[in-house]
Structure 1
């Protein structure tokens, strides 16, 4: 009797496992290359912004790794110019900008493939201070719109261009 009951439980358990494995999770959805590219471009954007924060808050490239894996073209020049200015003026940044990026478009047919990112960035509480004394020097900037271009280089995405417009509404 006990043996029949255990065998019955085993049959029910195996049936449940088989039915569960045949549920909707086995339905394959076609990959969306544009959505994948959008996610990867956004990850590149966040890596770029995180590197900027680290560089500008320390006045150094130390601990960032190879900046050329994050930025190239005008975006790389932007970081290099700002770093040279901060070093020359003895400034670093304190605080964090509030960022709200969104991928506006993805073009997988361009060479290289590109994604355009628009960010409403509020740098009001991202201020310049004297690197050596900690003394407040300059206030942050009011909200502005930044436009960034990410490009797929080899197998990864990298920020290649940027522009900021204070007259464009967030």
Structure 2
């Protein structure tokens, strides 16, 4: 029984170690026109400007999410204030639960996580507007260790794999990461 609980806990920690992305990702949605063009500006030019702005904001949120997750994981702090600055539910809750489990088991993250995110789709017509991000995460230098003796937590050795995330624009104008998935079976 204890081995099964350890296995489930380890699986949860691996998710945190690889950025905490444990929810399903959205499908590849195609971008569509959302705003009326300004006078004197072609519709396509405004659309491209809006899409570029959405891409930049979503990538900034994703980068902030990675940084906040790494910082929170170094102390296994589920209440780290930067998490709510870049994450929204349901991903926020899943990351916080994983961090709480790590803390309860006396584990923290160490090492380096490398990221190469790209935008794969923008949908400004959805409610809320979304941006899908694909990333090649290199977690080979990122580990969960026990605080007490710095031993590596079994099953938390990182890999280089595909990850996906969804950024959504909320009513207050912020872009937040609300869904993501680590695809450990898909190396990159």
Question: Which TM-score bucket, shorter chain as reference?
Answer: 0.7 to 0.9
- Out of 123, 133, 146, which is 2:163 matched to? 146
Task: Please state how far the C-alpha of 1:105 moved relative to its aligned partner.
Answer: 0.8
Cα distance between partner residues in 2 of 1:70 and 1:144: 22
Residue ranges of structure 1 left out of the alignment (5+ in a row): 1-27
Q: Please say which of residues 65-74 and 86-95 is displaced more in the overlay.
A: 65-74
- Map Cα deviations across residues 11-67 of structure 1 (whole Å, 9 max, x no partner): xxxxxxxxxxxxxxxxx9x551100110000000011111100010111256x4253
- Residue of structure 1 aligned with 2:152, choices 122, 132, 136: 136
Rounded Cα–Cα distance in structure 2 between residues aligned with 1:156 and 1:81:
23
Whether the aligned pair in 1 keeps the contact of 2:113 and 2:141 (CA below 8 Å) is yes
Provide TM-score, normalisation by structure 2: 0.69
Q: Residue 179 of structure 2 aligns with which residue?
A: 161
SS of match in other structure, 1:163: strand
Q: Does the aligned pair in 1 maintain the 2:132–2:167 contact within 8 Å?
A: yes
Structure-1-length-normalised TM-score:
0.76
Give unpaired runs (5+ residues) of structure 2: 1-40
How far the C-alpha of 1:96 sits from its partner, in A, is 1.4
Match of 2:86 among 70, 73, 84: 70
Aligned twin of 1:5: none
Q: Are residue 83 (structure 1) and residue 96 (structure 2) matched?
A: no
* CA RMSD across the alignment: 2.1
**How many residues are matched?**
142
Larger RCO of the pair (alpha carbons < 8 Å, separation 6+): 2
Q: Helix, strand or coil for the counterpart of 2:149?
A: coil
State the secondary structure of the residue aligned to 2:58.
Answer: helix
Residue 60 of structure 1 is matched in structure 2 by 77
How far apart are the structure 1 equivalents of 2:150 and 2:98?
19
